[in-house]
Structure 1
Amino acid sequence: MALLQCSFHSEVLGMATRATVILPDPVRHPAPVRQRHGGGTPVLYLLHGMGDDDSAWTRRTSIERHVEAYDLAVVMPGVDRSYYTDQAVGHDYWTFVSEELPALVTAWFRVSDAPSDTFVAGLSMGGYGAFKWALRRPGSIAAAASLSGGLDATARHASPEWRATFGSRERAREHGDDLLALARSMADAPSPPLLQWCGTEDPNLEENRRFRDGALAAGLPLEYDEGPGGHEWSCWDAQIRRVLDWLPLRTRP
């Protein structure tokens, strides 16, 4: 396997940014096999939480070891404290992550650009970003997973940082940043499969349950689970293994 630290300029953000990338072992998962059976390597966009950066998943979990058995690239972008949002005052992080970054990744690496080979997952703020990707661009990915997601972030106390990000609750709804409103709007509409987990001692538990109830009422294909644990890396390290097993990776002889 290869672990790459990428620094590059984003035209959307108008500044330099970073991403950490894991590429599969070419001996264990030879490229000629992939090319004969559907093109490039499937890719998982793995999103960090509030206060972390692109290195968090590799520093705090065993993601590199967990993904070793899979023919799967993992791309972990850095988005500061943006909530994966085109901010009211700031930068267009949603456009960067969901549009510019995949285009750059498929240009730089031998990864598939097919929606059936593209997945997104994240923890906390990254869980919000993953489900926003699934609900706003459902045809661009094959599955999305949220671990302890901040899924009702637009209903939180309007601090100065919150206002700079979302502007107002009305703006958040209008710009597709309110996930519960998005879920309601998706009733009977096609959606990729969703996997949601939260710890029973996690401060985000109640908003996870609110999203679960709204998504199920809208008929979204959501698999929900909760279990012992708080807002902590030991839980996420265990649950990302479940996410990897759950992803609908195509069988490649």
Structure 2
Amino acid sequence: MAFIDCHFYSDSLGVSASMYVILPQPAQNQIGMASASYGTTKHPTLYLLHGLSDDHTIWMRRTSIERYAAKLGIAVVMPAVNRSFYTDMAAGPKYWTFISEELPAIARSFFPLAEERELNYAAGLSMGGYGAMKLALTHPDRFAAAASLSGSVDISHRALNFPDDFKLIYDDVKTIKGSKNDLFYLAEQVHASKGPKPSLFQCCGTEDFLYEDNIRFRNYCRELGLDLTYEEEPGEHEWGYWDRKIQNVLNWLPLPART
């Protein structure tokens, strides 16, 4: 794999932004590292999102994502969005516009990343799990699959319990429910649509403080009949769990057959 520490200017944010990118490299003699490639000019791409207290470096620092992705032959884009909850903030930058519109266009202008829906996926942990689901449920025409690891998936409930943490993002947290920032609302919209529907993966440890939130979202997706794969096991909100589960996510992704 090639590893790129990329810094660039964002029109959406009005400041310089950062992302880590890993790209497939079909090496033959690299010791201890399996490599794969689809033999295409542009790579299947996973947008891998960080949590509330982290940044774009965290997946590389706390997991072996480079090694896991190498054997599958996919690119991984890991952007920084601060504490934005992947939202155009009421009192801050437009991070939703950045992550959903500007970032994919910029990344594809820099690197050979596929544009086709069936070759684009999103995943994340905690706040990033929310962001990944929000990307795929808002833009099911752009993302074939999304995965949430211990995600903050019931954001209207979470915000009402901690209003001071969210007022800079949403202003009035009572407006979240039933809005474009509510995953339950977005799931219902996808269900009602005649358009494409992304495959969803959700997991959460049974000792995680977000476990009940995840159960509510799981049950709602099942009621709607969405294509949801759900896994749970003993586990807390910590990196040992996420390092294990991101491997499951990568194996679950609906990657095309290699040529």
Q: What is the TM-score when the length of structure 1 is the normalising length? A: 0.93
Q: Does 1:205 align with 2:207?
A: no
Measured after TM superposition, the shift of residue 65 of structure 1 is 1.2
Q: Does 1:118 align with 2:120?
A: yes
Determine the structure 1 residue equivalent to 2:14. 14
Measured after TM superposition, the shift of residue 180 of structure 1 is 1.6
How far apart, CA to CA, are the structure 2 residues paired with 1:58 and 1:109?
19
Flag as ranges the 4+ runs of structure 1 deviating above 6 A.
none
How far apart, CA to CA, are the structure 1 residues paired with 2:213 and 2:238?
17
Q: Does 1:223 align with 2:225?
A: no
The one-letter code of the counterpart of 1:223 is T
Q: What is the TM-score when the length of structure 2 is the normalising length? A: 0.91
Alignment match of 1:196 (pick from 202, 214, 220) = 202
SS of the equivalent of 2:141 reads: helix
SS of the equivalent of 1:187 reads: helix
How far apart, CA to CA, are the structure 2 residues paired with 1:102 and 1:115?
12
SS of the equivalent of 1:94 reads: helix
Measured after TM superposition, the shift of residue 220 of structure 1 is 1.1
Determine the structure 2 residue equivalent to 1:142. 144
Kindly report which structure 2 residues correspond to 1:1-253, keeping only aligned pairs within 5 A, or say none.
1-27=1-27, 28-29=35-36, 33-35=39-41, 40-156=42-158, 157-173=161-177, 175-189=179-193, 190-253=196-259
Stretches of structure 2 that go unaligned for 5 or more consecutive residues are 28-34
Stretches of structure 1 that go unaligned for 5 or more consecutive residues are none
Aligned residues: CA RMSD: 1.5
The one-letter code of the counterpart of 2:170 is F
Total equivalences in the alignment: 248
How far apart, CA to CA, are the structure 1 residues paired with 2:178 and 2:101?
20
Contact 1:79 1:93 in 2 (8 A): yes
The one-letter code of the counterpart of 1:127 is G
Contact 1:48 1:56 in 2 (8 A): yes
The one-letter code of the counterpart of 2:169 is T
How far apart, CA to CA, are the structure 1 residues paired with 2:63 and 2:44?
21
How far apart, CA to CA, are the structure 1 residues paired with 2:256 and 2:191?
27
Identity of counterpart residues, as a percentage? 46
The one-letter code of the counterpart of 1:180 is F
